[in-house]
Amino acid sequence: MTCPLCESALQPALTEVVAVQQDAHLLYVRCRHCATGSIAIVTARPDGIQAVGALTDLTLSEVLDQRGHPPVSEDDVIEFASALSIEPNQLTLFQR
């Protein structure tokens, strides 16, 4: 596996399992070369292993802190989009 940003080989020692649910594993990987963080969901399926990932600027501790929070709902997204269209500079309204 390579870093999606700098394409260096990723080190297994820098991979942390954040959560496991049935056959899905949520992984956090930090590139030793460029320090880019990635979050990936890896699932074992009858036809093979499937992985979907995304780059993140979160640290491992920030990812772990998010585990206890409820998921973002459709209403949360609508409220956020509405507030931005009315008050584009008021992002502080949504700080926890």
CA 90/CA 45 separation, integer angstroms: 44
Q: 4 vs 78, which has greater pLDDT?
A: 78
Q: Where are the domains of the chain?
A: 12-69
- Distance of alpha carbon 69 from alpha carbon 33, whole angstroms: 31
Q: Is the pTM of this model over 0.85?
A: no
Q: State mean pLDDT over 51-68.
A: 88
**Can you tell me the distance from the alpha carbon of 42 to that of 25, in angstroms, rounded to the nearest whole number?**
5
Over the stretch 19-51, which tens digit does the pLDDT of each residue have?
Answer: 998 889 999 999 888 888 999 999 988 899 999
Rounded CA separation 31/7 (Å) = 9
Kindly calculate the radius of gyration of the chain based on its CA atoms and give it in whole angstroms: 17
